[in-house]
Chain A
Amino acid sequence: MSYEIVARPHQQNFIDWAKDKPEVLVLSADLTNSCEVGKWRDTYPDRFFSMGMAEQNMMGMAAGLAREGFEPWLHTFSVFLYRRPLDQLQMSIAYPALKVRLVGFLPGIMTPGGVTHQAIEDIAILRAIPNMTIFEVGDATEAQSVLDVAHDVQGPVYIRMLRGEVSRIFPVTEPFVFNRARILSTGTDITLITSGIATEEALRAVPLLQARGVSVTHLHVSTLKPFTDPQVVAALKSAKSGVITMENHSIIGGLGSAVAEVMAENGISAPLQRIGLKDTYAHGASQKFLMAEYELDAAALVKRVEVAVGRKLDIDESELQEQRSINVHSSAKVEAL
């Protein structure tokens, strides 16, 4: 399968989108070009505010601006939006339910920056915060159409964003819809629920699984809070051999935990396997290397499906390689900071 590669999907799209929205401001913490808003700054210099490496104050100033009717869009790496300034995010922004947009880049193991740069528990922490809405985009179409969806939310929003060379998996005509999963395939053996970059990775394995006679219902989830889409409940009920979740995050508190909660609350009895970081920190290396090392890749998914259906599927690594759509996961392309 091969997808169109979109270079810097956020950069020009965000400029065009913000043109007729004078209330939209950008606050940046010294990672402006790294978050594809350097050109935005040059286009709208009066609406761009450099906050320096000072995220705690950035949260407070964003809160003050939002109280006055502006809509600040904070751009920095995911990890810097919630770890150090968590109290400020909670008391200055989340408690008063202000319209602040936290656009977080390089979530999970997408950065070679190592443990200090890897947001592996952001969803877990932010899901527990009242008034928060959490989105995670899985392709260029979602990276571009999430803006409208976030803009409409009358409260704080955290977005796990993609940058750089990003696949367009979903047609431009099928934009991000609030709290609605995308049904990528339907089947009765396995229900597979994926988010973010895990979706593209899973799509490498699913056709091979189906060719081996495993029918898979595959949902891509891009709204992680609220997590109340009835399609998710229906898909979970249909799984005969088990449920598998797959995410670029700790298995604790993220998509896998959200699915477990929904299953328990709805009395859905099926074995659940969660693919994600198994309660561990990671280290600095390429995305491809880390996905293999921590078993977040298509090969890991195949193994979990084999456990669920109770038989070997004889899918060779070379077959998975052939399904690799593009070079985003190749070791040749190391993400710069």
Chain B
Amino acid sequence: MIISEAWFDDPLVRPYAVTGGRTRSTTLGLDLITLVVATRSAAEATHLDPEYAQILQVCQQPISVVEVAAKIKLPLQVVKVVLSDLITQHLMIFRSANPANEAPSQHILQAVLDGIRRL
């Protein structure tokens, strides 16, 4: 997880340097719209690398994985790996979207329809 400042110059290498080269295998099934929220403030987690601290910071309120990626301007896959690490370290909790093989309940569909009508 230790990355040297020298890496920061290279836009291609850097994102995966953040994750130590890991991509898909370690992401706890995080989806685009999995919601995450930090359980600690960045100030309480001073041991973290800068990217990790930054992500913890933007997750002080519940936020989706894809929004974290948009805010931090790192590729999605990288953000998923960092979030998984933070979850595994109990610095973050998450809630997966409805499993894809499970049809959304009529209750949720109705709520979405009502919400769109109210726009």
Pair from one complex: no
Interface residues of A (CB under 8 A from B): none
